[in-house]
Structure 1
Amino acid sequence: MSKEAGGPPESDRFDDAPHPRETLALFGHASAEHELLDAYQRNRLAQAWIIGGPEGVGKATLAWRFARFLLAHPDPTTPDVQGAQTLAVPPDHIAARRVASMALADIFLLRREWNEKTKKHFTEIRVDDVREITRAFHQASGMGGWRVAIVDCADDLNRSAANALLKLIEEPPERSLFLFVAHQPGRVLPTIRSRCRKLMLSSLTDDETVAAVGAVGEPWSDHPPEEIAAAAARAEGSVRETLRLLGGDAMAFDTSVARLLQSLPRVDWVGVHFLADKLTGRDNEAAYETFMRALERHLDARVRTLSRGGAAPSRLIGYARAWDEIRDLARETEVFNFDKRAMVLGVFERLAKAEGAA
């Protein structure tokens, strides 16, 4: 679906960085790329794929890279396809230009759309969004090749939207491909998961992350190398998180959040109230996102530490329960525009309980 220049902000684009459809380089994930290419070369391409892994590691970039390759090479039996070693398409290829500009009829993007009334993105992918894609998907292929639907990300599908999309997957036109980008594949509707081949991506290495930041360009690549390396190490293999940490005072803010989390189960309520003040207000979306990512990293690290230490599964239940409650609390805060102050206090109450139990 084409997007006019100068249109509303895109929910699947970070700041002013290149969109995944505009990104030709892929850092890491050679085995995942080969799995897609090999399936296509052998004409055994699954109709639907879940590309899973941590946020910001290149899942959407790989999905768009594959869609671009299919658009450039619709026949898997050609020598160009059979001799290919990667999914790379030259930047001057017409397929690369059309994908970058969304000037095509056969690739469909399903994502959180812009709400003109609130001047924000919707908090989820709605059933109306899926119905629009479904109508377009059943039209004749504009290029006589593949129809590709990219869902970025599947975590944002509400239940009605997921069920509507399931019907399209069950009765698709010929030569259709569905690529689900998922940060947490386990949260995807089970009936959709059962119809997908899963392709899991791991976090990038620090060197790969630094190289990816360099490819993104200014202003992020202009930071001193030691700052980029420090942000990459903190981001744990996420390019998106590295870019966020390189913006403004994000690194210092992230450090202060980490300090509060590391003191648990003792809660520094003075610091927590100061943090809540920082996150309150319409212009603090970046700080809020930094807080949520720091929270995710903290919980992941705690679970890994306990698991490596041979902790019984029962000791991890508190973290799983706390994370589910925090996610629900965050979603309700966004959907109903609740005060973030109450959410932050609730987060630390739940984490302190989980840490104390562990």
Structure 2
Amino acid sequence: MEQVAWPAQHDALDEVPPPCASTRLVGHARAVAEMLAIARSGHHAILLDGQHGIGKATAAFHLANALLSGPLPPGDTLPAPRPDAAVHRQIAQGVHPNLIHLTRPQNDKGSGFKTVITVDEVRRVQHFLSMTASADQPRIVIVDPVGDMQRGAANALLKTLEEPPANTLFLLVSHGASGLLPTIRSRCQRVRFETLADADVAAVITHVGGAVAEPDIDRLAALAGGRPRQALTLALYGGGELRDSLDRLFTAPRFDTALAHKLAEVAGARGNDTHNALLREMMAEMLMGRARSAALGGDRRGADRIAAFQQALGVQLRQADAFGLDRKQEFLVATQRVHALMHGG
């Protein structure tokens, strides 16, 4: 069968089908059952809430596929999209007439993507909803993630949520509902998605992760913290090796300047956002792991100190990005500070 051309997306992983093209959803049985119940009730908006990269957008597209393929089948499970079905192929290509997907748009000039969902994107939704709908099919709006919307875009979406057209369903993907406008939250039925068991994460790696050796699959699943996207990112971008290097750096009693420089080169390489994000997240996870260990050992003050340090370090690195500072130097300094903290500095 001819390969479907997926729309370019800001968070695409190399050779991994995006949620719109995925034909398999692993786990989330309870959340899927709740989504189906809400869809059958006729409520116009569902907020799919949970950590980033656990399958929320995939679940949204699977529900859209089922709704646009005919009446929902009975039961609490969603049928998997059929790769050869016209509905699935249209959704995967971003051309289904009854579905619009809002995510960060491409830049107007040059390469790359905008950092937010703009108000112009929400105006596309308003135009989409002003068109005559098919009598037997709903119109579906997927916003992924809703937290990426500019304030003006969020306010524009709110107006549509307040007076939704008939036979319209909004599926709002959220990586943390607490940051949303309360008025948007109040107009949605919230469905909570939890992180997956390691075995389910391993199943996702096996299904779409390419030629990953079996021992590596189990380790990557354990490192991913229940997030399939994180596991795939680790598999595709050498995450296991990066984690080993960080472990060596932070467990050694003396700071290994040469190793730190090698890692900083990776983090600071131009166009290497994925490795930079991976290294930062791993460093944050190691700090939070140390904080949990301190708390479990009865050292609450130490746990609070490490957690506060981790949060402050994250803010500092994000500010460095915003000001265009040297990523390599900022990461190198961060590793020195983390090593000092872990060894009593």
For the criterion TM > 0.5, the same-fold answer is yes
Structure 2, unpaired ranges of 5+: none
Task: Give the Cα–Cα distance (whole angstroms) in 1 for the partners of residues 258 and 280 of structure 2.
Answer: 19
TM-score (norm 1): 0.80
Question: CA 1:267–1:139 in structure 2 vs 1: closer, same or farther (change >3 Å)?
Answer: farther
- The residue aligned with 2:61 is 64
SS in structure 1 at match of 2:152: helix
**Once structures 1 and 2 are overlaid, which stretch shifts more, 52-61 or 292-301?**
292-301
Tell me, yes or no, if the aligned pair for 2:198 and 2:221 is still in contact at 8 Å: yes
Residue of structure 1 in register with 2:328 after alignment: 341
After TM superposition, the structure 1 stretch with the greater mean CA deviation from structure 2, 253-262 or 166-175, is 253-262
CA contact (8 A) 2:6 2:21 kept: no
Instruction: Please state if 1:86 is matched with 2:77.
Output: yes
Aligned residue in 1 for 2:214: 225
Aligned to 1:151: 143
Instruction: State how far apart, in whole Å, the 2-side matches of 1:17 and 1:47 are.
Output: 31
Question: Which aligned pairs between 1:51-130 and structure 2 lie closer than 5 A?
Answer: 51-73=48-70, 75=71, 81=73, 83-91=74-82, 92-130=84-122
Using the TM superposition, give the Cα deviation of residue 111 of structure 1 relative to its aligned residue in structure 2, in angstroms. 0.7
What is the alpha-carbon root mean square deviation over aligned residues? Answer: 3.4
Residue in 1 aligned with 2:17?
Answer: 18
CA positional deviation for 1:295: 3.6
Q: Is the 8 A contact 1:105 1:141 kept in 2?
A: no
1:37 matched residue in structure 2: 36
Residues 68, 137 of structure 2: 8 Å contact kept: yes
Q: Which residue does 2:152 correspond to in 1?
A: 160
Letter in 1 for 2:66: F
Contact 2:98 2:133 in 1 (8 A): yes
2:179 is aligned with 1:187: yes
Secondary structure of the 2:236 match is: coil
Change (3 A) 1:315 1:228: closer
Contact kept, 8 Å, 1:319 with 1:354, in 2: the verdict is no
Instruction: Report the Cα distance in structure 2 between the residues aligned to 1:71 and 1:313, rounded to whole angstroms.
Output: 54
SS of the residue 1:222 aligns to:
coil
In the alignment, structure 1 residue 204 sits paired with structure 2 residue 196: yes
User: Does the aligned pair in 2 maintain the 1:105–1:142 contact within 8 Å?
Assistant: no
Q: Once the 2 structures are TM-superposed, how far is the Cα of residue 337 of structure 1 from its aligned partner?
A: 4.2
Task: State how many pairs are aligned.
Answer: 341
Instruction: Give 2:270's aligned residue.
Output: 282
Partners in 1 of 2:109 and 2:139 — Cα distance? 32
In structure 2, the CA distance between the partners of 1:71 and 1:6, relative to structure 1 (3 Å rule), is closer
Change (3 A) 1:164 1:344: farther
Q: Report the Cα offset of residue 162 of structure 1.
A: 1.8
Distance in 1 of aligned mates of 2:300 and 2:133: 54
TM-score, scaled to structure 2: 0.83
Equivalent position to 1:247, from 227, 236, 253 = 236
Offset from partner CA, 1:299-346 (integer Å, 9 cap, x none): 55355546656776996487368537625742761x554432354257
Identity among equivalent positions (%) equals 30
Write the letter of the residue equivalent to 1:66: L
Instruction: Say which SS state the counterpart of residue 289 (structure 2) adopts.
Output: helix
